[in-house]
Every structure is written in C-alpha cells, then in structure tokens.
Amino acid sequence: MTRLSTAWSKLRWSLAQRGVAGTVRTALGRVQRHEDATASGKPLLHPFDKRYGVDTSGLIGGGELRSGHKNDVFNTAYYGMAPSRFRRVVEDWISSSGHAPLSETSFIDLGCGKGRAVLMASEFVFRQAIGVELNPSLTKTAESNLALWTAAGRAVCPVTVLCQDATEFAFPDGPCLLYLFNPFAAPVVKRLIERLETEFANRPGSLDVIYFNPESGELFESHPGFKLLWSGTVELSDEDAAADHVASPDDLCSIFRWVGL
C-alpha cells in the first residue's frame, strides 16, 4: 500500500468515526497528546506482558487496523484491557445471581485484539473462552500469545482465537457471556445486536454482555430485549494505574442481560 493510499485510508476512517470537525480537532491535538504521553514516564510494556512473556501492550489507532474488510472503517482502536478491571468485573459477575454455572457458560470476546482478555478469561472455569478478531495481524499475535499461555499451563478451560467478522460469528449452544471493550462503532454494534436477536431468539436468560467503555451502550439500553443489570466504574489497581496510558477513573462498564422479545 502506498503512502498516499495509507493516508487516505486513515482519513476515511477518521471522517467516519469523528466527522469533519472531530477529525480536525484530533489532528490539532495529536502533538499535545504525544508530548503528554512522553512526559508521563509510563512504561511502553505493561507488567502483564513482562510477567507472562506475551505481547498485549501498545495502542493502535483504528485507522491503522486495515484488513481490507468493509468494517475496517468502524474499528475504534486496539488497547489491552487493564487486568485489574477485567478480573474485578468478571469476579463480580460470577458472584451475581441469575446466570448459569460458569462451567456451562462460554466466554466470547468480540474484537479481542492481541487476546489479553481471552487469556485472562481462560483462568476461570468457563466451558470455553473464544476470541474473535477481524484484523489478521492482531489475530496472529493473539494466537502466539495463546500458545505461550497454554504451554505454561495457565488456561484452565479450552480457549481459541478466530479471525472473523464479529457480526458473522456463530455463537455456541448454551449460556454465553459476551465481552466488548468498545471494539467498534455504532453501525457494527447495531448489526451485532441484530445478530444476537437471531442467535438468542429462543434462549432468554442465556446471554449476558459485559461492555467496557460503552460508547454505543444506548443501543443495548434502548433495545426491548436487553435489560441493564449494572453500570458504573471499576477501580484500577495501583499497578495498572501506573502503567496504563489510556484508562481513566471515570471509564464506565455496563452489564446487560438478554431477556427476550
């Protein structure tokens, strides 16, 4: 791909995500953000990667995540979920009521990126943990991470990563816990919800959704088939707060349940 076509791809993505005014504001603020990140002194490599020998760090803008798929323009970005937040919200969900036993529940991360959340999910006794990622390069990295993770004996349930469009994923039978870390913009979220309607039409109560940074959360909240179980902030550990370049104490997480139509 030439520099010109690469630049056009990034511009097209930005216009679709932010509009003209947002694209201009982003361009003007880029230098300042770079200076702030440099001055912060935070490590480029998250302690999670140092501890486990995997590659889940780094921030990749949506404009860089090109696969040739029509949904590329709706990618948000790749950034690994803060481990303390992920583990806290999954543990809180496990301790809540109204869902099936963990051993009967499939965990699915749509837009799994390099796979950090899927790796952590495999530490719980789910029926299985599945990561779904559209970008082939990120999928390859996630697969390499998974190989290292499972070789070290850290996975306690079957775990796999698929390179696939999230809106075409065929959900497994039985109860499911769907995890989203704001992976794509509203048009794809809307199509995903339509897919969920079809997949779970006759399965009320068999799907919960954990949605971090729910920029399109209103699509779930306004849908008659979903019930909002909880929404709030999740505290970062000291380690994550010291290492995370993106997370804010005000970041929201919402949990929804499919109750049927």
Q: What percent of the chain has pLDDT over 70?
A: 84
* pLDDT, tens digit, 9 for 90 and up, residues 119-143: 999 999 999 999 999 999 999 999 9
CATH 3.40.50.150 fits 83-258, yes or no: yes
Please give the full DSSP string across 222-252, using - where no structure is assigned.
T-TTEEEEEEEE-PPPHHHHHH-SS--TT-E
In tens, the pLDDT along 66-94 reads 888 898 899 999 999 999 999 999 999 99
Tens-binned pLDDT, residue by residue, of the chain (261 aa): 443 343 334 444 444 554 544 433 433 333 344 444 444 567 789 999 999 999 999 999 988 888 888 988 999 999 999 999 999 999 999 999 999 999 999 999 999 999 999 999 999 999 999 999 999 999 999 999 999 999 999 999 999 999 999 999 999 999 999 999 999 999 999 999 999 999 999 999 999 999 999 999 999 999 999 999 999 999 999 999 999 989 999 999 999 999 999
Question: How many angstroms separate the CA atoms of 184 and 16, rounded?
Answer: 12
How long a stretch of residues is the chain? 261
User: 258 is written with which tokens?
Assistant: 């499919």
90 vs 85: CA distance, rounded Å: 9
Closest CA to 91 of 124, 117, 115: 124
Q: How many CB atoms lie within 10 A of CB 119?
A: 30
DSSP helix/strand/coil, 148: helix
Closest CA relative to residue 195, chosen from 170, 162, 230:
170
Domain locations along the chain: 1-41, 83-258
